[in-house]
Amino acid sequence: MSAPSDARLADVGRLVVRCPDRPGIVAVLSRLMADAGANITESQQHSSDPVGGTFTLRLEFVLADLATRRLQLEAALAGLAGEWQFTWRLTEAARKPRLAVFVSTADHVLQELLYRVGSGDLRAEVAAVVSNHLDLEPVARAAGVPFHHVPVTPATKDAAEARALELVGDVDLVVLARYMQIVSADFCSRFPERLINIHHSFLPAFVGANPYRAAHDRGVKLIGATAHYVTAELDAGPIIEQEVARVDHRATVEDMRRIGRYVERQVLAQAVTWHVEDRVIVEGDRTIVFA
Amino acid sequence: MSAPSDARLADVGRLVVRCPDRPGIVAVLSRLMADAGANITESQQHSSDPVGGTFTLRLEFVLADLATRRLQLEAALAGLAGEWQFTWRLTEAARKPRLAVFVSTADHVLQELLYRVGSGDLRAEVAAVVSNHLDLEPVARAAGVPFHHVPVTPATKDAAEARALELVGDVDLVVLARYMQIVSADFCSRFPERLINIHHSFLPAFVGANPYRAAHDRGVKLIGATAHYVTAELDAGPIIEQEVARVDHRATVEDMRRIGRYVERQVLAQAVTWHVEDRVIVEGDRTIVFA
Amino acid sequence: MSAPSDARLADVGRLVVRCPDRPGIVAVLSRLMADAGANITESQQHSSDPVGGTFTLRLEFVLADLATRRLQLEAALAGLAGEWQFTWRLTEAARKPRLAVFVSTADHVLQELLYRVGSGDLRAEVAAVVSNHLDLEPVARAAGVPFHHVPVTPATKDAAEARALELVGDVDLVVLARYMQIVSADFCSRFPERLINIHHSFLPAFVGANPYRAAHDRGVKLIGATAHYVTAELDAGPIIEQEVARVDHRATVEDMRRIGRYVERQVLAQAVTWHVEDRVIVEGDRTIVFA
Amino acid sequence: MSAPSDARLADVGRLVVRCPDRPGIVAVLSRLMADAGANITESQQHSSDPVGGTFTLRLEFVLADLATRRLQLEAALAGLAGEWQFTWRLTEAARKPRLAVFVSTADHVLQELLYRVGSGDLRAEVAAVVSNHLDLEPVARAAGVPFHHVPVTPATKDAAEARALELVGDVDLVVLARYMQIVSADFCSRFPERLINIHHSFLPAFVGANPYRAAHDRGVKLIGATAHYVTAELDAGPIIEQEVARVDHRATVEDMRRIGRYVERQVLAQAVTWHVEDRVIVEGDRTIVFA
């Protein structure tokens, strides 16, 4: 929750380690970090099961001159990885992940992401906005972000996706910010655990199109939004974050859409923030979120 | 929200009127109430659609000597009902509706209902507790409520329902408080809009058995509970109230059950309270709740 | 909650009436509206006390050709006002109130107001942004709103307020959107019940400067924000809306400021929206909010 | 959040360690636990400040035959405590802390504590209920808990406290469950960080008597409750948990009391549960809560 002051951001690192759960792993890793001179400022761990489960550890640490000493730290980790069968991810907090944001015509989620990037609450760089419509070009331009118009029709979908991929180039995360198009399995496979969608219902309720209409017709008293990693199966990927808002019998479908927009932007922005801070780890169909 | 002080409860009435929406209906009804000497202390109304919709009005009023003057008021309403095509329900706040509560082995919802009845927050009388198990007999007995043990097996279901109906006799509302049995369509039809169930998920997600297991496996970040009127289709009746609680990746299925219990008891108690205060009106598959 | 479609917005009116509570007032007013041909689509009322209290009624109605027939409706109201001792306010939903927004250097609340005005969720016009700093001039300019830089020092406060008043001219509502200056009693008196401030705590806790620092030092587990009408006494005016967010022991003062920003913008935008929709009525030190 | 199954509860331990923050402390402690054969199932830590702050660690672990091997573990901890300047608390999850609950006439919080103890959600034993009134004797008796009636008057306060202390004997935690009496500084000093009160407002708003009356008069839109450790200064001790509920202009003081009861019972029960699970650590005027 607490962000280190910018002055020393260059020294801040994050380490995520996963391995079969086994007594002693924390002792080994914390010894390694101590020996490397790293001061651990935040530590969270989770065992999917004390017996035969997977152990996940996330550390935030301060290590003077991290950029230089990073290789040394990675060598130490590599030296132990075999014995303890762990995989790891080491990131420097100073590095801003590059995002590609796919949108359609609704601007609320894009605006929120751009606002949070601008305010520094979301430490990332929006590298490109891609849309099948032109409506949001001014929003992207005003924020100084390249905008790519890639129309999509059922017939041209494959070509459109290929074109979009080419245009966005190398990015760390793709965000579907009310994109309203179902992306292909091939597209998904290019961004494993790096493709986040916002769905405008509390999944698994109201999968698919027009969830507010369906919610209205079912007479629910809470509407919701869900941010999840995208997998080949529609609206079925691992959930990162959900939130709801209360509605009553007076709410029309249009009211639900309006109220829901504020839930959607909050949920997606929160999910993206946790992702870029290496706080989300996929475990099967579920996520671990070290919030 | 505000309850009149008990001193004058005998003078407090509630009127719910429904009719095709048409200009002037409020003027006519409020004139009728004024002429009857009733002082309206709470008024809520809803139009399902300003054009061609249904108009619903709920009034709470004070009328000195209500029990005596009730017939006069009903005659006045009857005199207008034809012309304005309205139906109405008039209740005296002093009269406590009689509830039959069906349970299985889990006590949390029953305890909550009994607590709220005892504290006066829920103005009703629990006329009987019915269960297919003996576990909760002591809970009912401690509250001075008759307990009926009616075992159910697939083969004896019809007979068991008939026996239960006989035992509970004439009640205003049947509450399925984690009863864990699917009641028959015939049973439902005997209590139209007077049979409330608590389902341990935020419907329409996780219909049917074992919703916490399903919620866990889907990796949701919010679990919920839904109180709804029971209709012949499982978990599909009009929703009265829903609420959710946050869970994280650490929550096991058992944790979800534990956390969920506190949501379930709150949601069902709220729904029953609104129902007995004539605040809930069914409109097709949805409810109007004048909270 | 439900907004009429724009097509007929010109026919939508709102009426707020206040008078000593007395049986028959609703009948009289609803008869008047029916005779005028108005179809009431939303109606809410409140009695501060059934005996000797104040009765408040808010109606939303559709009246074909409202702009033309408004005078006639007002004449009818005036004809009854004496007998029933009521005051009233009649507004046309189509007319957008003009707001002046006072800011300092923080942009989050201003951005939110501008976003909601742009999206149509807040039906108002931002007539001017006034600031004692230059930081937010680009934000106002990007939205096409006049920006006035009016520096304030303790010595020049009176002159600065006078200058600001001159610059903003005739507005319906003044919004202090994290203005960070205490406005004078004289300034307050020029905008009775038309001057809204956002305070970054759940009042009455943490009145005055640096509430997040104070909240941190007190070790609260919830931080909040409060939108209220401004009166001569600091942070003591009638509260319109409040909301809170959960924090834990990890949250620094800076974290609280960051988290709090999202609460502040939500609370102020909600309060301003309710105000411009004539949903807020001041009653002594408190507000009635017909949400 | 996750409770181990009862089958192995006897093997579950909890360790809380506090010391000046210093690189390597986690490595040392996790090595010690690994060498002792303990499998850490939950671990949370907090640094009040990476430089010169206090480090706090809470571990939950499984160690076969804990009761027997506990001394060995404590010896190992004692061997390191000097070098690392740490203090520690080691508890066996199987041992149920003994609570004394002080009440007045309101039963809702007591009922909730008894319910949660009975259901096993709160692993503790209510050793005694003490009251200055007789109203709740039946509630205590029904739960099989000794009830002590200790009347208090301003003149007899010291003697009454002495009598109460004598009657409750040796307990782990004293809970003031709407006791409505201000306990003496001497009483507080006998239960340092082991005396929890529920105050019926979101502190620091509405310190002292009649907070719902004060909340009503101030016109707040949220009412709240706060569980905190009691110190000599009234309502000023470290806050453990807070929650709020929404109210509107219709809510009378009595409505607020009624709604508030459900917030109070939830907040106090949560705070007591966290306390008995060794999740709350006092740090100056604030608490760390490893929820």
Inspect the interface and report whether the beta carbons of A2 and C252 lie closer than 8 Å.
yes
CA distance C207 to C210: 9
- Strand pairing of A12-20 and A87-92? antiparallel
Contact D222, D202 (CB under 8 A): yes
What the block records as the tokens of B229 is: 């009127």
Catalytic residues of A: 235
What the block records as the tokens of C53 is: 């209290």
Inspect the interface and report whether the beta carbons of D23 and A41 lie closer than 8 Å.
no
Same domain, yes or no: C107 and C223: yes
Closest Cβ opposite residue A219 in set B220, B250, B286:
B286
Question: Does the pLDDT of residue B3 top 80, yes or no?
Answer: no
So what's the pLDDT on residue C39?
A: 87
Residues of B in contact with D60 (CB under 8 A): none
CA distance D42 to A55: 11
Same domain, yes or no: B77 and B208: no
Residue range A92-132, pLDDT digits in tens: 999 999 999 999 999 999 999 999 999 999 999 999 999 99
For residue C50, is it within any domain? Answer: yes
Same domain, yes or no: A52 and A185: no
So what's the pLDDT on residue B220?
A: 98
The mean pLDDT value for A14-28 works out to: 92
Same domain, yes or no: C78 and C145: no
Inspect the interface and report whether the beta carbons of A30 and D33 lie closer than 8 Å.
no
Inspect the interface and report whether the beta carbons of D251 and B2 lie closer than 8 Å.
yes
Inspect the interface and report whether the beta carbons of A221 and B244 lie closer than 8 Å.
no
Q: Which helix (H) or strand (E) holds C74?
A: helix C66-84
Inspect the interface and report whether the beta carbons of A26 and D40 lie closer than 8 Å.
yes
Residue range D236-283, pLDDT digits in tens: 999 999 999 999 999 999 999 999 999 999 999 999 999 999 999 999
Question: Does the pLDDT of residue B120 top 80, yes or no?
Answer: yes
Closest Cβ opposite residue B249 in set A242, A250, A289:
A289
- Strand pairing of B195-199 and B173-176? parallel
Please give the single-letter amino acid code of residue A210: N
Inspect the interface and report whether the beta carbons of A220 and B241 lie closer than 8 Å.
no
For residue D64, is it within any domain? Answer: yes
CA distance A104 to A177: 8
So what's the pLDDT on residue C2?
A: 46
Gap from D105 CA to chain A (nearest CA, Å): 35
So what's the pLDDT on residue D166?
A: 97
So what's the pLDDT on residue D2?
A: 46
So what's the pLDDT on residue A23?
A: 82
Residue range C270-289, pLDDT digits in tens: 999 999 999 999 999 999 99
Residue range A155-190, pLDDT digits in tens: 999 999 999 999 999 999 999 999 999 999 999 999
Same domain, yes or no: D87 and D138: no
Q: Which of A51, A71, A92 is the last residue of a domain?
A: A92
Mean pLDDT of chain B: 95
Question: Does the pLDDT of residue B2 top 60, yes or no?
Answer: no
What residue numbers bound the domain in which B29 lies?
A: 6-92
So what's the pLDDT on residue B115?
A: 98
Task: Give the chain A residue whose CA is nearest to the CA of D53.
Answer: A41
So what's the pLDDT on residue C7?
A: 47
Handedness of CA A169, A172, A177, A182 (dihedral sign): positive
So what's the pLDDT on residue C23?
A: 83
So what's the pLDDT on residue A1?
A: 41
CA distance A45 to A59: 9
Q: How confident is the model at residue C51 (pLDDT cuts 50, 70, 90)?
A: confident
Residues of C in contact with B62 (CB under 8 A): 50
So what's the pLDDT on residue D52?
A: 84
For residue D245, is it within any domain? Answer: yes
pLDDT in tens, chain D (291 residues): 444 455 489 999 999 999 998 888 889 999 999 999 998 889 999 998 877 889 999 999 999 999 999 999 999 999 999 999 999 999 999 999 999 999 999 999 999 999 999 999 999 999 999 999 999 999 999 999 999 999 999 999 999 999 999 999 999 999 999 999 999 999 999 999 999 999 999 999 999 999 999 999 999 999 999 999 999 998 999 999 999 999 999 999 999 999 999 999 999 999 999 999 999 999 999 999 999
For residue B209, is it within any domain? Answer: yes
Catalytic residues of B: 235
So what's the pLDDT on residue A118?
A: 97
So what's the pLDDT on residue A24?
A: 87
Same domain, yes or no: C111 and C252: yes
For residue D1, is it within any domain? Answer: no
So what's the pLDDT on residue B33?
A: 95
Residue range C178-236, pLDDT digits in tens: 999 999 999 999 999 999 999 999 999 999 999 999 999 999 999 999 999 999 998 99
Question: Does the pLDDT of residue C52 top 90, yes or no?
Answer: no
Q: Which residue has the tokens 């609803």?
A: C30
Residue range A193-223, pLDDT digits in tens: 999 999 999 999 999 999 999 999 999 999 9
Output the CA–CA distances (angstroms, integers) from residue C10 to A121, C30, C39, C44, C92, in the order listed: 42, 21, 14, 22, 7
Q: Which of D70, D92, D114 is the last residue of a domain?
A: D92
Query: Which residues does B contribute to its contact with C (CB < 8 Å)?
Result: 23-24, 26-27, 30-31, 33-34, 37-41, 43-45, 47, 50, 62
Same domain, yes or no: B157 and B173: yes
Q: Which of D73, D92, D111 is the last residue of a domain?
A: D92
Mean pLDDT of chain D: 95
Residues of D in contact with C240 (CB under 8 A): 221
The torsion angles phi and psi of B245, rounded to 5 degrees, stand at -135, 150
Contact A90, A115 (CB under 8 A): no
Residues of C in contact with B38 (CB under 8 A): 23
For residue A1, is it within any domain? Answer: no
Outline where chain D has alpha helix (H). Answer: 25-35, 66-84, 108-119, 137-142, 157-168, 185-190, 211-218, 253-276
Inspect the interface and report whether the beta carbons of B43 and C45 lie closer than 8 Å.
yes
Question: Does the pLDDT of residue A22 top 90, yes or no?
Answer: no
Question: Does the pLDDT of residue B214 top 60, yes or no?
Answer: yes
CA distance B254 to B244: 17
Residue B60's closest CA among B36, B41, B45, B73?
B41
Same domain, yes or no: C152 and C232: yes
Same domain, yes or no: C109 and C166: yes
Question: Does the pLDDT of residue B253 top 80, yes or no?
Answer: yes
Percent of chain B with pLDDT over 90: 91
Chains in contact with A, where contact means 3 or more Cβ–Cβ distances below 8 Å, are B, C, D
So what's the pLDDT on residue D1?
A: 41
So what's the pLDDT on residue D174?
A: 98
Count other Cβ atoms within 10 Å, centred on residue D64. Answer: 12
Q: How confident is the model at residue B52 (pLDDT cuts 50, 70, 90)?
A: confident
Outline where chain B has alpha helix (H). Answer: 25-35, 66-84, 108-119, 137-142, 157-168, 185-190, 211-218, 253-276
Number of domains within chain A: 2
Residues of B in contact with A46 (CB under 8 A): 249-250
Chains in contact with B, where contact means 3 or more Cβ–Cβ distances below 8 Å, are A, C, D
So what's the pLDDT on residue D7?
A: 47
Same domain, yes or no: A72 and A154: no
Q: How confident is the model at residue B49 (pLDDT cuts 50, 70, 90)?
A: confident
Q: How confident is the model at residue A63 (pLDDT cuts 50, 70, 90)?
A: very high
The domain that holds D134 is classified in CATH as 3.40.50.170
So what's the pLDDT on residue C100?
A: 98
Same domain, yes or no: A153 and A218: yes
Residues of D in contact with C198 (CB under 8 A): none
- Strand pairing of D98-103 and D125-131? parallel
Task: Give the chain A residue whose CA is nearest to the CA of C266.
Answer: A262
The domain that holds C57 is classified in CATH as 3.30.70.260
For residue A82, is it within any domain? Answer: yes
Closest Cβ opposite residue C26 in set B23, B24, B40:
B40
Inspect the interface and report whether the beta carbons of B27 and C24 lie closer than 8 Å.
no
Mutant choice from C45, C55, C62, C248 vs B, greatest count of B C-beta within 10 A: C45
Inspect the interface and report whether the beta carbons of B217 and A249 lie closer than 8 Å.
no
Contact D16, D89 (CB under 8 A): yes
Residues of B in contact with A207 (CB under 8 A): none
Contact B221, B253 (CB under 8 A): no
Same domain, yes or no: B151 and B261: yes
Query: Which residues does A contribute to its contact with C (CB < 8 Å)?
Result: 1-3, 42, 107-108, 111, 115, 119, 121, 142, 247-248, 250-252, 254-255, 258, 261-262, 266
Size of interface B-C (CB pairs under 8 A): 48
Inspect the interface and report whether the beta carbons of C250 and A1 lie closer than 8 Å.
yes
Q: How confident is the model at residue C49 (pLDDT cuts 50, 70, 90)?
A: confident
The mean pLDDT value for B30-58 works out to: 91
So what's the pLDDT on residue D196?
A: 98
CA angle C215, C219, C222 (to 5 degrees): 65
Question: Does the pLDDT of residue A5 top 60, yes or no?
Answer: no
For residue C1, is it within any domain? Answer: no
Chains in contact with D, where contact means 3 or more Cβ–Cβ distances below 8 Å, are A, B, C
